[in-house]
Structure 1
Amino acid sequence: MHYHIRHALENVTVYSYLKDEGTSLEKDIIDCSLGVNPCGVTPTLTKEAYADTFNLLHSYPAHPFTETRRHICQYFSDIADLDISQISMQSGSMSALCRINSIFLEEGTTVVAPMPCFSSYTSNARSCGAAIVSVPLKEEEKFAFDTDRYIAALKPGQRLAYIDNPNNPTGQALPLADIRRILDAAREKEIVVVIDEAYGDFLEKEESAVSLINDYDNLVIARTFSKGFGLGALRAGYIVLPKAMVPVLAKDPGEMTITTPADKLIPIVLQDPGFLKMSRETIANNKKALIDSLHVLHVSKTRPDVPIGLYYTDADTDLGAIFWKHGIRVEYGVDFEGIGKRHVRLRVPDDVKPLLTRIAAIESELQA
């Protein structure tokens, strides 16, 4: 039988670092792969609080999640005056990005994106029919984001301009002044700017583009509770949008987009911002120790308090395979556009000392 699928999907190449590793995961593996918070979750979120949601599992979630959206507005109240209508709950930031793409993209549209960036986003954009205008982050510049180069790529007729901030895989972050410049340039050309803040909770709250949401009608932000707040298993995220865009999102809002356990536990984690501060300090210490230990491997421009970073070698070798051989699980560069087998994305663990021993062995092998 011939399956008549959307034309955009017929020849699309999917980039994603999610893969089925089956039973290959060994006990003696240091997991530095997916971008979780290495510090776990706030201790104020107890097993009892999670167990309390059991008796609600037979009911549908409390759509439209008014109280949870109110808590999110309150969380950002020191940097933005948000109405609950500006918050749309989604099943993680990937779901949020897919929702945004489904509204704005179709055959013949164009998205501007840095390369490398979150590869699942560009794959989804292409599946919606969009072409990607790539703005390279160059190895000779340590993969630093060039704001002028990005702005120069913006042209009339483009639908979306995507920026993951912090960037995935490099872990670098743009200052708000640069984001303002991009928003101003994009608005002149009627381009909507999508800021993916999946790793945004590893930055100070004041660095979030949420503080700009009421100044720009061409800004939309995707955020998640999976990373900084440590709720990856609950698949909870949200969109923050300007008031002018509320009726646009209402055309495809989604229903029952987060689970009841997520709905009940999000307010608890939001009440402990001190956990994020502690996490950033631990991550910064561990990441500094890792970077300071390097003599052969290179590291991209990156923020110390963001757990991920891009590491690479000059040697023509499969760096991801070498890391795996030494018992370190990372994300392979070939799963991102714009980089390749010489690169890996590594997320620091909670205990960095065993990692440093294995990194030293990897560097010795690369020098041999």
Structure 2
Amino acid sequence: MMGIHGGDIYRNFVTLDFSVNVNPLGIPEKAKEALHQAVELCGRYPDMKAENLKKAVGEMLAIPEKYLLFGNGASELFMAVAHGIKAKKIILPVPSFYGYEYAAKATGSEIIYYEMNQKNSFALTKEIEHFLTEDTDILFLANPNNPTGHLLPQETLKFLLHRCRDKGITVLMDECFIEFAGSQFSMVSQIEEFDNLMIIRAFTKIFSIPGVRLGYLICKNPLILTKIACQLPEWNLSCFAQEAGCACAKETDFIQKTVNYITMERQFLEQGLLQKGFQIFPSTANFILLYSEEPLYEKLLAKGILIRDCGNFRGLKKGFYRIAVKTRKENEILLESL
């Protein structure tokens, strides 16, 4: 797994990390308080059913609590889905997050890669329906996609969900970055209509708590939920994850503040990159994909700045890089260092 993901600050000298895409506003104060208070709970086992967390997230999303499963980060849920569904054939649009491929390979699934076109800014189109054969078990989608930041229109998503339902295909939708684009673009509002839809989200990015490890899956289909739940370890959520999650679930104002800030700083970064002659791709998330023939990764790492070299993403090539949207001061340092 070495080199597959960003954030390797442990084996590099890094003063600024632009390789991971967490909220530049940091951890909400209430979440920090909850984490400190959780120390007193370490002397006992955490609630295996995570009832308080389930109630808090259910209220946050306005959905029944029975639709929710929680995991030690989204990554644990991807793996649980792969083992629970036992898919023989998976459709995976690329470039996209490596974790989907990693989970699929763990169960020996056949993976059909659907390459998105650079000329179309790597946007997924309805053309993928020609790959959706009746022997397909799962279609992986990311919205917004990582590393491109592209947001799929709801009309396209509904079209694909209908096609997949007609052919008995389950859709796994990764919405781990949806809050940065705006929660109104989430497909959670459609969860009642499609029993073939699973949505995975996480507290990691929007609340800047990757070290806490907390993700959740939403699905109305009880059969699917049961299959996945059987693949999750007992006590997979620490008291820290549960307490922080309950606090974060109430931070609606923090999320809106984040959306406004990210929009402003992303535009600032995009303008700066364009002025320096880089090719960038439209993003709705808290990161930007760019292309350059310069060896940017090595150039910036020599200055203590870590970015994500995307040359190892399936569907991309050498010269593609992803940079996180951070604070104005940090963004200015990055632009000055290029």
TM-score, normalising length: structure 2: 0.92
Q: Which has the larger Rg?
A: 1
SS at match of 1:44: helix
Question: Which aligned pairs between 1:255-270 and structure 2 lie closer than 5 A?
Answer: 255-270=234-249
Aligned length in residues:
335
For 2:244, give the aligned amino acid. L
User: Shift of residue 70 of structure 1?
Assistant: 1.1
Distance 1:230 1:358 in 2: 20
For 1:162, give the aligned amino acid. F
Question: Which aligned pairs between 1:115-264 and structure 2 lie closer than 5 A?
Answer: 115-146=94-125, 148-244=126-222, 245-264=224-243
Give the aligned partner of residue 355 of structure 1: 331
For 1:308, give the aligned amino acid. F
Q: Deviations over 1:285-320 (max 9, x none)?
A: 1110111122311111211xx21121112x3x5332
* Percent identity between the two aligned chains: 21
Instruction: Specify every segment of 5 or more residues in structure 2 that has no aligned partner in the other structure, as ranges.
Output: none
Contact 1:15–1:123 (8 Å) recurs in 2: no
Contact 1:16–1:119 (8 Å) recurs in 2: yes
User: Shift of residue 138 of structure 1?
Assistant: 1.7
For 1:310, give the aligned amino acid. L
Give the aligned partner of residue 61 of structure 2: 76
- Greater shift in the superposed pair: 87-96 or 244-253: 244-253
Give the aligned partner of residue 308 of structure 1: 287
Give the aligned partner of residue 10 of structure 1: none
Contact 1:85–1:243 (8 Å) recurs in 2: no
SS at match of 1:279: helix
Contact 2:69–2:229 (8 Å) recurs in 1: no
Question: Which aligned pairs between 1:9-158 and structure 2 lie closer than 5 A?
Answer: 16-18=4-6, 20=8, 22-26=10-14, 29-47=15-33, 49-77=34-62, 82-105=63-86, 109-146=88-125, 148-158=126-136
Give the aligned partner of residue 334 of structure 1: 311
Give the aligned partner of residue 366 of structure 1: none
Contact 1:318–1:341 (8 Å) recurs in 2: no
SS at match of 1:52: helix
For 1:132, give the aligned amino acid. I
Q: Closer, same or farther in 2 for the Cα pair 1:70/1:289, shift >3 Å?
A: same
User: Shift of residue 39 of structure 1?
Assistant: 0.9
Distance 1:136 1:301 in 2: 18
User: Shift of residue 361 of structure 1?
Assistant: 5.1
Distance 1:110 1:16 in 2: 23
- Structure scoring higher RCO (CA < 8 A, sep ≥ 6) equals 2
Q: What is the RMSD computed on CA atoms of the aligned residues?
A: 2.1
User: Shift of residue 137 of structure 1?
Assistant: 2.1
Contact 1:219–1:241 (8 Å) recurs in 2: yes
